[in-house]
Amino acid sequence: MLKLEYRGYGVEKGIPTLIIAASSMDDVLAITGFSLALGIVSSDGSGGGGVASAILRGPRDAVVGILYGLGLGALLWYIPHRGHKRPVMFRFIFLVGGGVIALLGCEKAHLQGAGALGVLTLAFVAGYGWRRWDGWAEEDNPMLEPLDTMWWFMQPMLFGLIGGQIDFQKIQPPALAKGLAVVGIGLVFRMLASFLCMLGTELSFRERLFVPFSWLPKATVQAAIGPVALDMALSQEPRDDRAVDMGRQVLTIAAIVIMLTAPVGAFLISLLGPRLLERDKNWELHHFDLASQGNCHGASSLHQHSSQPRPRSQAVDLEAMRRDAVELGDDNEAAEEDDVAAAAAAVAAE
């Protein structure tokens, strides 16, 4: 989706931003619902309002996580102060550290869903303040580079740990089939609901048709909360073999859903995006102009207006733009890409 936004598809009507924002809200609902269901299943129901307490546990965890994210996120608007020499480095450290504290602290306090919600809310609130008061635009956000680097390193570890906990010899085919059927039915209704929600908007039929497919991939949230039930069952004393088996089934279904929906969804987004969304050609030139300004920062005005060849970094940007278009399957606009690259080169040379 971010590649489509970078290439200018759907940005005029804000479709990529709409989908990403709606996905964040969906993550909040998914984590809250999972915490509620896990609390009900893990309650013994024996006196003391066990089930009633479990039902209230989900909203309680959600409120705790959201309040934590709101408070710490607002604090990061001012710490470190805007005149600091290295604000990006310290903001990155505080953001990641606050997320780790939320996850580990809530787990220690037996607030199963609060940690993930706290991390999500923390990043949202902090990013909102940085964009509003520091002018960090989406196309020129200095926090993206360290976060992308960290995600590049942590992503294989996250999914690798999940895959390492799956024991295919203990998978029960009937339970697995039922779980996948439930997920499949849920995806069908989810895609239908997302299409219906777009009715009455300014989006065209082709754009409304793209939205349900953009919601098909499932990966990060499933990877984060998939092992929670199994970890809870393994930590119980005395150990309940039935609970361990149920937790392992949840983890297995989550892993298989990731393997099925993530690559298929990514392929459909890259395939259908250029065909169903309108493209804003000026968006690409705007991105290139920002990159050119960054590459030429600090150079003298004489050098900027000279007839010397473009710096290598700008040439690399042009080649990267062309490679992105090929990756998105935009074969029908190959000739148009040459025109855009030539126009971008002219902008950089002026």
For 187-219, give the DSSP string: HHHHHHHHHHHTTTSS--HHHHHHHHHHT----
Please state whether 309 falls in left (phi above 0), alpha (psi between -120 and 50) or beta: beta
For the segment 292-299, the average pLDDT, to the nearest whole number, is 45
Read off the pLDDT of each residue in 98-126 and give the average, rounded to a whole number: 88
pLDDT over 70 at 136, yes or no: yes
Q: How far, rounded to the nearest angstrom, does the alpha carbon of residue 141 sit from its chain's CA centroid?
A: 16
201: Cα separation from own chain's centroid: 24
CA atoms within 13 A on the CB side of 83: 0
Strand partners of residue 279: 9
For the cut 90, the answer to whether the pLDDT of residue 157 exceeds it is: no
Per mean pLDDT, which of 3-17, 158-172, 314-328 is the most reliable? Answer: 3-17
Residue 79 has pLDDT above 70, yes or no: yes
Q: How confident is the model at residue 192 (pLDDT cuts 50, 70, 90)?
A: very high
User: What confidence score (pLDDT) does residue 323 get?
Assistant: 52
User: What single-letter DSSP state applies at residue 134?
Assistant: S
Q: Which residues pair with 9 in a beta bridge?
A: 279
Q: To which residue do tokens 């190959």 refer?
A: 334
Is the pLDDT score of 155 beyond 70? yes
pTM of the predicted protein model: 0.67
Query: Token digits for 133?
Result: 């008061």
Does residue 347 carry a pLDDT above 50?
Answer: no
* pLDDT at res. 307: 35
Per-residue confidence (pLDDT) for residue 256, from 0 to 100: 85
Confidence of residue 116 (pLDDT cuts 50, 70, 90): confident
- Nearest Cα to Cα of residue 161 among 232, 228, 237, 233: 228
- As a whole number, the mean pLDDT across the chain is 77
In 43-169, where does DSSP find H-type helix? 50-75, 87-108, 114-133, 144-164
Per-residue pLDDT, averaged over 68-87, amounts to 90
The confidence score (pLDDT) of residue 338 equals 52
* Cα–Cα distance for residue pair 205/199, rounded to 1 Å: 9
* Residue of 189 and 340 predicted with greater confidence: 189
315 has pLDDT over 80: no
Q: What is the pLDDT of residues 228-287, one digit of tens each?
A: 888 888 888 788 888 888 888 888 888 888 888 888 888 999 999 999 998 876 765 555
Q: What is the pLDDT of residue 138?
A: 63
- pLDDT of 207 reads 92
The residue with greater pLDDT, 348 or 235, is: 235
Confidence of residue 294 (pLDDT cuts 50, 70, 90): very low
In this structure, how many other beta carbons lie within 10 angstroms of the beta carbon of residue 225?
A: 22
Taking Cα atoms as reference points, which of 184, 248, 245 lies closest to residue 216?
A: 184
pLDDT tens, 29-74?
A: 888 888 788 777 776 544 445 667 777 777 888 899 999 999 999 9
Please check whether residue 137 is in contact with residue 91, taking contact to mean a CB–CB distance below 8 angstroms: no
Distances (CA, A) of 294 to 7, 116, 165, 205, 311: 19, 35, 45, 39, 12
Which whole number is the average pLDDT over 169-188?
85
Q: Which of 74-78, 82-86, 216-220 has the highest mean pLDDT?
A: 74-78
Lookup: tokens for 126: 């902090």
Answer yes or no: is pLDDT of 306 > 60.
Answer: no
